[in-house]
Chain A
Amino acid sequence: MSGKLTMSTGNKAVAAAAKMAKPVVVAAYPITPQTEIIETIADYVASGEMDARYIPVESEHSAMTACIGASITGVRVFTATSSHGLLYMHEMLHWAAGARLPIVMGQVNRTLAPGWNIWAEHTDALSQRDTGWLQIYVSTVQEAYDATLMAFRIAEDTRVLLPVMINMDGFLLSHIMQPFEMTEPGDFIPPLNLPHKIDVLDPKGYGAMSPANVHYQFRFDMEKSMRASRTVIDETETEFKKRFGRTYKPVDEYLTEDADVIIIALGTLGKEAEVAADLLRKEGIKAGVMRIRWFRPFPLDMNIKGKELVVIDRDYSFGFGGVIAGEIQARYPDAKIASIIAGLGGQEVTYEDMAAFVKNRKTGTEFWFGIPQEEQ
């Protein structure tokens, strides 16, 4: 890294990136482990460091609703939430995407109750996969910052006009302190020009009925934009590298080229898996890592032909299986997958554990880490 490094938590990095993007409205409700994001933004607004309208609300449902109301006027909008807060927004997540509003949200992945648990799990966000939001999962404080900057540019691109959710692991990333470079984005994020914004001089109907003969057209239009977002993400990440020097791809690959077996995981597990791959290679096992960053749109060109996959899901879809393993199998029918369910509720998973998953892998099976073999 070239510029000046500061120590920051993942939360504070997301807040700093949001400040850099200069949103006009922030409406949010606190929830562990995300609270530091909106506290930091509230401080920025109170001190005058950030010229935004901060709307404190009584719930996450209202937070998203306020974001929708603000966004439709054509201004830049940011919010943040986690876990139960995200689920409380669920109805409005569909609305935000359906109304084609480029809202950007920091989302800290936390387990869902009962029993009460504040630690990392991905089921909260993965269970929102069909809402029409773009979803990215990040693995370092720097990446959290950079992805938040890029999220505004991607969401607001007229080829996309869909909301973006930046996901980071609760505590593991939201509260870790790492050095990062607080890059000034300059004009990297162009001014927002929402084509369908409310304009009193050019009145339009909003929230009207869309009967059966048109509704599917709106939905297909969303999917077309989701497909186009792959190009926009690629362009944005390329431009980011050109300007600021840091490289990002929809799937981050580590030692995959000659790998026989590839660990696939999201977030911090995907980063620590690199250390597992190093360990395995010392033992003569050609291992690599694919860390899926963009979950929506889902990556369609993963180069996994002929390789065995160990897919680690920090989530579960009851009556089906690990969400990521299932999505990979659906998109890549020939994939040879050993599915590992690990890290639920913040369960400790080390790189040594991940190396063991690889060594003990059984393609076509599902293994719950920590559960005795005879009960599986």
Chain B
Amino acid sequence: MYEIRIHSRGGQGGVTAARMMASAAVKDGKFATACPFYGAERRGAPIVSFVRIDDKPVRIYSQINKPDMIIILDPTVMDTVDVLDGLKEGGKIFINTNEETPFPPGFKVFRGDLTGIALRENLVVSGSAIVNTPVIGALAKLGLFTRESGVEAITDTFTDPRNTNAAKAAYDEVIV
């Protein structure tokens, strides 16, 4: 089983990103679940979502405490949240940023400027750059699911082509 924890802020689309990730994995023939952790948070508060991908049905409902991968959709959550908590040794980190971010050794760090891509593609809702569709492109590049399944998972949810365009841009631009 591969366990992913997503750190984002309320309203940023972290929950939808989790659903599309699980959906893409299912399209690849895997089993997957996406579970947002609902606290008392509102728009702007740090939130976490969980995705589990496995070759057999997922039977676990509790939170992910030892993730194989963490995804940081908003780097500013790191000011208040220990995003690395429990991350397995050798685990992967994907961070939405345009600059190199220092992390302790022992992890594989990947980055992509999802916010920049979203702004470039004019993927902005209510003044916020939407990063949940570009991140699907970035994760396809990292091999979490195929590019085709990622695109399909997006188009199942969003008809606006800016979403798939941004995802394709993120696929090409993620820094591995």
Contacts and interface: CB of A to CB of B under 8 A. Distances in A.
Nearest to A178: B33
A7 B65 CA distance: 24
Chain B contact residues: helix, strand, loop or mixed: mixed
Interface in A266-296: 268-269, 271-272, 274-275
B92 interface: no
A172 interface: yes
A350 B35 contact: no
A179 interface: yes
B22 A177 contact: yes
Give the size range of B's interface with the partner: 20 to 34
A152 to B, nearest CB: 26
Contacts of A176: 33-35, 61
Given A7-B19, A7-B26, A177 B35 contact: yes
Contacts of A33: 38
Interface in A166-202: 169, 171-173, 175-179
Given A5-B26, A7-B22, A350-B65, A172 B35 contact: yes
Contact of A271 (B22, B23, B59): B59
Nearest to B64: A350
Given A272-B62, A349-B62, A350-B65, A175 B22 contact: no
Interface in A323-348: 348
Interface string B1-43: 0000000000000000011001100100001111110100000
Contacts of B19: 7, 177
Contacts of A5: 26
Contacts of A271: 59, 61
B60 interface: yes
Nearest to B50: A176
Interface string B106-118: 0000000000000
A113 to B, nearest CB: 14
A176 B38 CA distance: 11
Contact of B35 (A175, A275, A351): A175
Contact of B59 (A118, A173, A175, A275): A275
Contacts of B31: 179
Specify which of B18, B31, B38, B61 lies most central, judged by the most chain A CB atoms within 10 Å of its CB.
Answer: B61
A175 B62 contact: no
Contacts of B57: 140
Residue with the greatest number of chain B CB neighbours at <10 A, chosen from A169, A172, A176, A351:
A176
Interface in A202-222: none
A275 B1 CA distance: 12
Contacts of A173: 61
Contact of B26 (A179, A268, A349): A179
A351 B62 contact: yes
Interface of B: 18-19, 22-23, 26, 31-36, 38, 57-63, 65
Given A171-B38, A177-B34, 12 more contacts: A140-B57, A177-B22, A178-B22, A178-B32, A179-B31, A179-B32, A268-B61, A271-B59, A275-B59, A350-B62, A350-B65, A351-B62
13 contacts: A172-B35, A176-B35, A177-B18, A177-B19, A177-B22, A177-B34, A178-B22, A269-B61, A271-B61, A272-B61, A274-B59, A349-B62, A350-B63
Interface of A: 5, 7, 33, 118-119, 140, 169, 171-173, 175-179, 268-269, 271-272, 274-275, 348-351
